[in-house]
Amino acid sequence: MSVLPSSQSTPHGSFRESTFSLPSPEIRLRTLQKEDLLKLEWHGGADLRQFYQQQWEAHQSGKVLVVVADLRHFPIAQAAIHWLGKPTHPHIPDIQSVRVIEALQGQGIGSRLLDLCESLVREQKHPQVSLAVAVDNEGAKRLYERHGFRVTGEPYHDKWAYINANGQTVHVDELVTDMMKDL
């Protein structure tokens, strides 16, 4: 505990600064639920509302499995397994949309989500799993490398679009690199 001398004065008199620890809340990994959709807007706000709706529909159809890290009934992180892969690797399940709320990054939550995704892909008897990382996202690339993913080719432009909260189509062109892991 850090304490300032009692002679430390503020406009409200003496102040004793201290530090304390809160009990560690339980973070639970679970599948996406419909009531999570608006809560996930901590990433992208209302502009990505349609994206989350489409992700929910793909989750409901079984084409995608979305898992979230839940803290007191609030999704603080997510990852999505696209069972049909992606155009560069259509036969290999692809992990996408890995994100952790910024204030909780660096706490191992992303690692727990990756571990769960890999386990679920392995349970389905797939020998490999893939993902893509933005070339300029060194932190995510280091995380994936710690988990055994390796770069499998040259960077390419991943182009996609979404409709924002104003009904406008937003085109995204992101330079990414594919990464692969043998399971």
SS3 string, the chain, reads: CCCCCCCCEECCEECCCCCCCCCCCCEEEEECCHHHCCHHHHCCHHHHHHHHHHHHHHHHHCCEEEEEEEECCCEEEEEEEECCCECCECCCCEEEEEEECHHHCCCCHHHHHHHHHHHHHHHCCCCEEEEEEECCCHHHHHHHHHCCCEECCCCEEEEEEEECCCCCEEEEEEEEEEEEEEC
Average pLDDT, the chain: 91
Q: Going by DSSP bridges, is the β-strand pair 128-134/94-100 parallel, antiparallel, or unpaired? A: parallel
CATH of residue 166's domain is 3.40.630.30
17 assigned to some structural domain: no
Q: How confident is the model at residue 126 (pLDDT cuts 50, 70, 90)?
A: very high
Q: What is the pTM of this model?
A: 0.86
Task: Determine the average pLDDT of the residues in 13-35.
Answer: 80
The answer to whether residue 27 scores a pLDDT higher than 80 is yes
Percent of the chain topping pLDDT 70: 88
14 assigned to some structural domain: no
Residue 72 C-alpha from the chain's centroid: 18
Q: How many domains does the chain have?
A: 1
Task: Determine the average pLDDT of the residues in 24-41.
Answer: 94
121 assigned to some structural domain: yes
16 assigned to some structural domain: no
Residues spanned by the domain of 56? 26-182
157 assigned to some structural domain: yes
Task: Determine the average pLDDT of the residues in 1-15.
Answer: 49
51 assigned to some structural domain: yes
1 assigned to some structural domain: no
Which residues fall within 8 angstroms of residue 70, CB to CB, at 6 or more apart?
27, 28, 29, 30, 76
Of 163 and 13, the one with more pLDDT: 163
Per-residue pLDDT tens digits for 63-109:
999 999 999 999 999 999 999 999 989 999 999 999 999 999 999 99
The answer to whether residue 110 scores a pLDDT higher than 90 is yes
11 assigned to some structural domain: no
The answer to whether residue 9 scores a pLDDT higher than 60 is no
